[in-house]
Structure 1
């Protein structure tokens, strides 16, 4: 007769027993059930305490992972009742991390010197620094757990473990969690060290940039001062050349005429004195004329000396001031009026110097060759250009001057009328035009038109 099948109650008890066995990992026999449950609870409590210690250490970890690593070692030692626990990085792993070895002994103190380790643990330290095996090893009362990060072995967690031949899987899980927490802490410390190094390098570069910027500002200020001094020197050279040229002309022409006139008057006075006697009215007039000629000669010599020795100031002056200074040098022989139209914006040293040289050359030609009594200088600032006119009331012929200019530009000059070619060349060098026309006063008008410089013009 076949055996009877179990009833519903027996089947329910069997199902409950199977579920408890699956959930707790122990069989539910009446004699061992509560004992296994208590052991499992103790293991769970130990694991939770270990993880709680790691959590407390983790929130205090920044650039130095020692606090977390110390917590890992103490948690591991407490969980498996180990006398010694040790963490070691492989030699080539995380090269920027300073902390590469730590251990906790039986007294719970942190050990960071290899000399303080027992001989056997020193040998295991050397093995942990070279082992690439990603599996957990159990042998000779020791357990070694790899510290894994992104599938790579960074090092080992080593702990004495009396149950090496029959390890509890829960113990190994806890040790793996602790080892991975240590690997993460070391990785964080390595990244923090790299970031700190980059930050220090960036700060160093920033300091260098600030020093370079300060040095550049000093050099820019020095360059501006040097440019100002150079502009003063250009202006001084311009005014000195004009004064020396006028002084030479006075010495070679006017002074000689005055001296000759004085000799002629003195000769006439001597002849009149012989012919009419000392009380003659003609003799008295000739004596007065001789004195006037002598005074004129003294004044000419004074002007020549002043032109040679009058100092030029050290201040940078505007183009308007330069033109007025040139006009002043030709007075009183030539009455020069200077007029400025428009907004006198700075044109740069090169353009202002060139225009002043053109004006000086034109006024000199007017004073020496045109037999003029008056001259006018007009400087007009336009939106796109600057024009300079120098006109006089002399007897010059613009067509003849234009012919002479063409001749001097086409052939080797003989030194005569070279001033026209100089003015035309200066205008061309500045990108402008040069023309000679009839002035309203009846004489010559020199016209120069220069385009305004751009933002970088000088």
Structure 2
């Protein structure tokens, strides 16, 4: 029986509003039952006495289930004089029902024969509030793009902005190499630190990832069976995370800039939440902003890198053509004066002979320093022969100067790297070796350059020593070496890993997709260029 009708016939106040025997009562009851708004009656303890059909639909429960149970509506805060004076002011309550409902409501109290009763009208504004959060997230995203210090900060911040408006519990923005499909870097929120490494392992195991599906097909991919992946061995690296997080579904949208795929944005939802079309649309809009940001940062990085490279080359030429030549001439002149003094019978221990000898030593030392500086600015071996040859020459110079055993483990062939990548990686090796010599006091240093065996196109550069260890995560005021190396690796889309113990330290840069196969035409051009340089 309808609770409202029952109260009219029985005159009871515990199941619905009291009604006088008047013709308008039946009309009022019909209006309450037909209303699209939720309408209910609460007792003094704010327990349900009556809920109309619309209210039951909003709350997702029947009248019999609700009656006698406490309502989600909180009393007016008596310290809030405005709210207390106006009981009809709209208020909001979040987390109703399954935790995702937001209700807007008004209420008024009255006294009947049974005591205090509270009439409440309410409606579901969950979608409207989500839309407000989406707009706020858009605004914060725009601010992040304008003021963030690095691409990693942008990606992490936007990943965090995705969670509240969509109801997702984790988000990842993954950049993908378009040639090798390797995962280069990621901004995350709600994920473990090893997320990127684990999905990369899944990719190598042949798992059909929604990440790659969205990337390759350039359209959103939705998977609603994530718990089933616990039974697929190809997803073994992610099993622990999926089980702990209790993910039920994931929405993956591609990042496309200037008609080129750059990565994906993935939002992970708990089993109790089903992603909506509105969620997917919002994620796609956010992905567009991320793609533009990534593209802009990469373009800016390319321009800055090339500009810096050209400036270093210009300085190297200027130093070689001016200061270096002057020092060389001074060295020759000093030697000539020294020989002339010897032939004229001058006293070898006299002030003139000693002064000339000291001048010769100073000019030769300055010339050696200048050549080392020019090599730092523009290593000719790097330009002419590639990264491996430049590293070998640098290692030989360090070994001779410091008396260390420095070994380079690499193939003899030139690695197929772009010039900017060669420059950055040589700086990483130089900085790592410098740190070894200066801080670790090792006997042996091993430098390895090799393609990652199970990931074609990816390069590993590793520097290992047997010296004093250190704490990689501890702050080192005034020492920016590790940060600089990490930034160089990230500029190339890679990552830097540092391990250290009392037995020594290892610095490893892993760079997905940096090795580009040399086409036959490029090889021919390179050979022709080398032949041209060798001609007299």
TM-score under structure 1 length normalisation: 0.30
TM-score under structure 2 length normalisation: 0.26
Give the number of the structure whose residues are more often helix, by fraction.
1
Query: Comparing both chains, which one has the higher relative contact order based on Cα–Cα distances under 8 Å and sequence gaps of 6 or more?
Result: 1
